[in-house]
Amino acid sequence: MKSISPERIRSIRVITLCVVAAATFWFLNALNDTYSTTLKYPLVFSYDTEKYIPLEQPPEYIQINVSGIGWNLFRNSLGIKVTPVNFKLQNASEFKKIPGNSILGTLSDQLDEFNVNFILTDTLYVNIDTRASRRFKLAIDSSAIKLNEQYWLSSSLRYSPDSVTLQGPESILSQMDEVLTISIPQSDIDENYNEDIPIEFENSRLISRDPPTMNVVFGVEEYTSSEIDVPLTLENFPENKIAFVTDTIRTLIYNVGINRADNIAPDQFSIVANYNKINPEDSTITLEVTKHPEFTKDVHLDSAKVKVKFNE
């Protein structure tokens, strides 16, 4: 295979440069002509942001058909020195649908380098609300706190502040409850809690909060399940002892903090069998736990009924 001679290579380069130069000259010369085309032109809505707030992002572009010099159309297609059309909304919350043709005058006034032939966008949808401010009470749902297994609250729950000022869309604030219940974000908590947590709720993205956080404090402790035998207390039984029970001790099951597990005695509990509440069909009495230490929880009997016997 023969190699291309240097003279031939130089000729190819010269021809290529001539073609490129001719094409460039033709393209630049063509840009001086007038053309019609469809543009996706940037659009901004201006309104009093101190008074109004958008619920959704307003449209950012509008489709228009324009005529203009090629240079301007080419520059616009590259996004060079493109100034968005500014459409002013005087009473922003009153606008929901804006017919595309209604802003033809604004487009024509601001796009002085183009002739606007027509607008392709049929309707522009906006969702802007009046900005409002309102104060709400705060609360923490202690039942929703996610503690580690075998842990419970060992103290009352305290938090501050007890209220927050919210600023945002009036339509959202007016539908909110007067009390905002805030959730503890952490889970598997197994130690005393003292944290600043964010005041968050549904639609909080659109709403500013003052203050944005609240401090929450509570104690937790590990607990264990335990049992204890407790004698029954008989009430209202006949004095002639015609009625009696033989099973006079029952087992109570309860949960207690580990630090207090060794401080439990039977006399801290009371299990009552009330003869006045006997079931005549089967001669049983449903037992009642009438007393237990306040630091015990989930107290229940292993057997909730006792059989009454009678002397012949």
Residue 28 has pLDDT above 50, yes or no: no
CA dihedral 249, 255, 261, 266 (to 10 degrees): -20
User: Stretch 55-68: mean pLDDT, rounded?
Assistant: 87
Over residues 248-276, the mean pLDDT reads 94
Region 12-34 average pLDDT: 52
Average pLDDT over all residues of the chain: 86
Pairing of strands 128-140, 179-182: parallel
35, pLDDT greater than 90: no
Percent residues over pLDDT 90 in the chain: 57
15 or 195, which is more confident? 195
The closest alpha carbon to 185, from 214, 154, 165, belongs to 214
How far apart (Å, rounded) are the C-alpha atoms in residues 200 and 183? Answer: 8
Does 25 score more than 60 pLDDT? Answer: no
Name the more confident of 72 and 295.
295
Report d(CA 33, CA 35) in Å as an integer. Answer: 7
SS3 (DSSP) at 103: helix
pLDDT of 257 reads 93
Q: What is the C-alpha to C-alpha distance for residues 274 and 265, in angstroms, rounded to an integer?
A: 23
Model confidence pLDDT, tens digit, residues 123-179: 999 999 999 999 999 999 888 899 999 999 999 999 999 999 999 999 999 999 999
How does pLDDT run across 180-232, given as a tens digit for each residue? 999 999 999 999 999 999 998 887 788 999 999 999 999 999 999 999 999 99
Residue 73 pLDDT greater than 90, yes or no: no
Which residue(s) pair with 132 in the sheet? Answer: 168
Confidence (pLDDT) at 40: 86
Asked if pLDDT for residue 36 goes beyond 90, the answer is: no
Check whether 119 has a pLDDT greater than 90.
Answer: no
Residue 180 near residue 199, CB atoms below 8 Å = yes
Least confident of 8-22, 42-56, 136-150, 292-306: 8-22
Q: Among the listed ranges 33-37, 106-110, 124-128, 174-178, which one has the minimum average pLDDT value? A: 33-37
> Can you give the pLDDT at residue 27?
47
Residue 116 burial by CB count (10 A; 0-12/13-18/19+): exposed, middle or buried?
buried
